[in-house]
Amino acid sequence: MRPITLALLLPLVFPLAAAAQDTTDADARAAALAAKMSREEQLRYVHGYFPPMSKDRPADMIPSAGYVPGIPRLGIPTLRESDASLGVANQIEQRKGDVATALPASLALAASFDPDLAYRSGAMIGAEARAKTFNVLLAGGVNLTRDPWGGRTFEYLGEDPLLSGIMAGESIRGVQSNHIVSTVKHYVLNPQETLRTTMDARIDEAALRESDLLAFEVAIERGQPGSVMCAYNKIDGDWACENDFLLNTVLKRDWGYKGWVMSDWGAVHSTVKAANAGLDQQSGRELDKAMYLGKPLADAVTKGEVSAARLADMNRRILWGVVSTGLIDRPVPTSAQPIDYAAHASVAQEAAEKGSVLLKNERNLLPLARTAKRIVLIGAHADVGVLSGGGSSQVRSVGGAPIEIPLTEGAASSFARVTWHASSPLAAIRAMAPQAEVTYLDGRDPAAAAAAAKAADLAIVFGWQWRTEAQDIETLSLPENQDATIAAVAAANPRTVVVLETGGPVLMPWLGKVPAVLQAWYPGQKGGEAIANLLFGAVNPSGRLPMTFPADAGQAPRATIPGLAAMKAADAAQKAGGTYGMVERDLSPVVPYAEGAAVGYRWFLRDGVRPLFPFGHGLSYTSFRYGGLRVEGGAALRVSFDVTNTGKVAGADTPQVYALAGRRGKPTQRLVGFERVTLAPGETRRVSVTVDPRFIADYDPARRGWQVAAGRYPGTVGRFAGDAALTGTATLAAQTVKP
Ligand code: BGC
């Protein structure tokens, strides 16, 4: 147990957990409380402060993402908001010395295909948030990755609605098991960072329902988040936070969502329109152009432009989140509590171990034998740590940041630094191979790296690529001449392993020359240990890609980043005119998502395009066989089969069930089920999947519902998208499912 030091917090006063149960009728309690609030109180609870910029600083306000003062006379709690999904964030160390457990990238979590791990990860973060006095976590990022260059790809759960929805839902459930609120975000189709606060994403309703909305729908059903965060951008011409169709029609009416819609920070653009369209709370008001839900809302209610009933509804919804999660009955402590960081670190390590993906392993180079005498590690600061993604999710991890590089310009420069967590692969590999001389070289000089590799029995090259919120990456190639270094090392030593610390796919021009590649993503604060365990076989790799790795940028639906060239031109003009950063750019690119619901692997499979590595791919140190397929139809599609570990070591496999579904246009392969199974050598397990009809249906906007057409449906069991290890078909009856 290591107690945290949080100088900014007040002395310890731990309120005893109230005896009241959390699950009493949240609807009735929330409505009764909202009715007791005065008009002034109701107007106060619907907007929050951004502490770093706040002029009013109540004594209990600490630097974090958000603060909404409570109403003590009614026992309504102050909302103390923090980011989020990868651990309790502390960007640019705004709370000096306040560390937290840093999980790997959410992509790694998704790659584990392990819902239980998602739950435990969420529960861990929620426990730390609570111990640090936060009661709202801005977690639950579930935007589908439509483009391989997305800056926040690492914060999301990949490209598939079923996988993303399940993992986000479980993680939210875990967070909220601590009687605090989690959000799900960013609602919805918030697909790129470039011009993220002005771009306009266009898509038709059916396609949106079958892709991004479906991920949110599943996450909300599973996780029951207290709040939904609406996104920055426009969708079909309307800002996400004043989009009547998305907020009122889809979320609140069709899905029956009872919690509250909070804005992203700086995403509000109006008072009357937003309030009537379904926005319930303005977050971080200092970041918006105006205090839209403050005085202007009071005036609008007086004038009848927003009804008093709607104002009460906004509060009732916030209170539903506060009551249904148990937050109201079990208030968070008023000062920081000790945290068992050692126990939490093991969750971070497990996530890194289960989420790393063995992409290639020719001639069984891995696992590494412990007989090598000289091992050289090259690149990515592998002597001191592992890379983290940047932005609001940035955790100041236990152990600190051995490297932090400030940005000199760009949208992320005010709140992101290129940061490494203190988990040294060099130290971990030395501990794993005590017989060997293990050295490190920075790899900046390809010739020097090649010479060192030649003199060694084994070379492990670490490749890195930093991604951050607020900026997309302009190239899928590894930066800073790393491809040349990797190619030179591989040419010098055939026993070369590449370990990638990236927040998404990268191009691998050297792949043909490198026998083994481990995708470690941003592996979190125990990443070094996890990488060593995986390379040496102490842990058998089991991750599967949650997104497609394209062979070249041109394979993706959009080869270039919409709006980037115009943004750069505008920035250059501002620089020349001396107004850079002072004048807002007037750029609002309209971006059509012509691929519709064919996101990621669906896009590749639809047109028969062969990626570098497909969705779902991942190798193991053992092998698995599938057999005994049964595909049954009738009211629901059911697929069952046996998985056998046919190798010599224990391992986990994630067989994936795909169905060729959708009758509108060209049918597409969709992931309709998966199960992660851990098997001893020789062991067989039967896996059964009952397919949620929404995943094989077409959404029909005219009939407002999901339509499963009667007919024959092929069900496939595969190791990755496009693989057909087993295939059967079954006949399904026609079915209509409400939205
Ligand atoms: C991000 C959100 C985050 C919020 C508060 C925004 O810029 O888009 O994901 O929760 O800031 O930090």
Q: How far is the CA of 265 from the centre of ligand 1 (A)?
A: 6
Going by DSSP bridges, is the β-strand pair 374-378/437-441 parallel, antiparallel, or unpaired?
parallel
497 SS3 class: strand
Q: Are 488 and 450 in contact (CB under 8 A)?
A: yes
Q: Which of 183, 233, 392, 413 to mutate to test the pocket of ligand 1 (most atoms within 8 A of CB)?
A: 392
**Closest ligand 1 atom to Cα of 89:** 12
Helix and strand numbers, DSSP H then E, in the chain? 18, 31
Sign of torsion over alpha carbons 562, 160, 121, 319? positive
Catalytic annotation present for 264: yes
480-520 pLDDT, tens per residue? 999 999 999 999 999 999 999 999 999 999 999 999 999 99
Q: Who's near 495: CB < 8 A, 6+ residues apart?
A: 365, 457, 458, 459, 515
Q: Which of 49, 138, 196, 199 to mutate to test the pocket of ligand 1 (most atoms within 8 A of CB)?
A: 138
**Closest ligand 1 atom to Cα of 83:** 10
Q: How far is the CA of 264 from the centre of ligand 1 (A)?
A: 6
Give the number of other Cβ atoms within 10 Å of residue 202's Cβ. 15
What is the C-alpha to C-alpha distance for residues 42 and 311, in angstroms, rounded to an integer? Answer: 7
The encoded tokens of residue 242 equal 């004043």
Q: How far is the CA of 428 from the centre of ligand 1 (A)?
A: 34
The string of DSSP codes covering 372-420 is -SEEEEESTTTTT-EE--BSTT---BTT--SEEEE-SSSTTTTT-EEEE
The pLDDT value given to residue 11? 28
Q: Position of tokens 């171990």?
A: 353
The string of DSSP codes covering 570-637 is HHHHHHHHT-TTTS------EEE-TTTT--THHHHHHTT---SB-TT--B-SS-EEEEEEEEE-BTS-
The pLDDT value given to residue 24? 53
The encoded tokens of residue 218 equal 């599943």
What is the C-alpha to C-alpha distance for residues 317 and 322, in angstroms, rounded to an integer? Answer: 9
Instruction: For ligand 1, atom 11, name the residue with the nearest CA.
Output: 265
- Percentage helix, strand, coil, to 5, in the chain? 30, 20, 50
Catalytic residue among 114, 264, 288, 653: 264
What is the C-alpha to C-alpha distance for residues 494 and 513, in angstroms, rounded to an integer? Answer: 8
Segments of the chain scoring below 70 in pLDDT: 1-24
Residues with CB under 6 A from ligand 1: 65, 83-84, 138, 185, 264-265, 392
Q: How far is the CA of 639 from the centre of ligand 1 (A)?
A: 40
What is the C-alpha to C-alpha distance for residues 623 and 422, in angstroms, rounded to an integer? Answer: 34
The pLDDT value given to residue 580? 87
